[in-house]
Amino acid sequence: MQTLYNKLKHYSIQDAIAFEEADRQFIALKNLWANIDYNPKKYYLALIIANALICYQLSGKWEDYWEEFSEYFSSLSPFGGKMSGGQIGGFLSEFIKLSKWNRRFVETKIKRLEKLRPFLKCFIDREEYYYENMIELRDDLAEVMNQNKVAKTIVFAVKMFSYGARNVFGKIVYFPSEICVPVDSRLTNIFEKYRENYTDINKFYFDLSQKLGIPELHLDAIIWNNSDL
């Protein structure tokens, strides 16, 4: 780990925020926020969370998919009174049936959206509370989806929710240090390269984040912007 730490120690949490806000996924959500009309703004963050939970086994890059998502829901504006909290799953179900980049396991993903419905009823109108209490958001999502708190889709949903919440509330709330990084193939390869005596990948990234003083979900952006690791 020491070698990896030495390569990253000059970065700060402000660097991480800058990387995040240059992320094509962040920009896609920012564009969606700018393009939807007034009424659907109420469901913007719920829509993001629901989409994040079906964002796996894609047919292309995640950035391409989130841009497609943004363009699709921007193009539906103005759809005003058509959307309600209970209809978010239905709107997303129709979207992924047409999606170029989310074509695998469509029926399974539609079932996941149905599973999420009870949570969304409680989530809407409590968005700012969840933004300021993202550990609770993670825990509630893990419970309703019957997944582990470190599951990739769960922590990724928190990350994307935060991206969207910055647009809604005009402020940055830092990720809690207790929320782990969403482990993907690149992070796994980096772990294998620098692991030394570590056997647990989550422990490895937790210790690295603690040593750097940067929460794991913010550290994720720094690692992704260092292609030579």
Residue 108 confidence (pLDDT) above 70: yes
- Residue range(s) in the chain whose domain bears CATH number 1.10.1670.10: 2-14+179-224
Average pLDDT in the chain = 93
User: What percent of the chain shows pLDDT beyond 70?
Assistant: 94
Taking only Cα atoms into account, the Rg of the chain, rounded to an integer number of angstroms, comes to: 18
Catalytic residues: 152, 184
Q: pLDDT digit string (tens) for 146-159?
A: 999 999 999 999 99
Residue 69 confidence (pLDDT) above 80: yes
Among the residue ranges 3-7, 83-87, 170-174, 182-186, the one predicted with the least confidence is 83-87
- Residue range(s) in the chain whose domain bears CATH number 1.10.340.30: 23-169
Residue 85 confidence (pLDDT) above 90: no
> What pLDDT sits at residue 80?
47
Q: What is the rounded distance in angstroms from the CA atom of residue 153 to the CA atom of residue 66? A: 14
**What does the pLDDT average to over 175-186?**
94
Report, at the CATH architecture level, how domain 2-14+179-224 is classified: Orthogonal Bundle (1.10)
Q: Count CB atoms within 10 A of the CB of residue 3.
A: 11
> What pLDDT sits at residue 38?
58
**What does the pLDDT average to over 179-196?**
94
Residue 173 confidence (pLDDT) above 60: yes
CATH 1.10.340.30 corresponds to the domain 23-169: yes
The DSSP annotation for the chain comes to -HHHHHHHTT--HHHHHHHHHTSHHHHHHHHHHHHS-TGGGGGHHHHHHHHHTT--S-SS-HHHHHHHHHHHHHHT-S-GGG--GGGHHHHHHHHHHH-SS--SSHHHHHHHHHHHHHHHHHHTT-HHHHHH-HHHHHHHHHHHHT--TT-HHHHHHHHHHHHHHHHHHSS--PPPTTSPP---HHHHHHHHHH-TT---HHHHHHHHHHHHT--HHHHHHHHHT-TT-
> What pLDDT sits at residue 81?
47
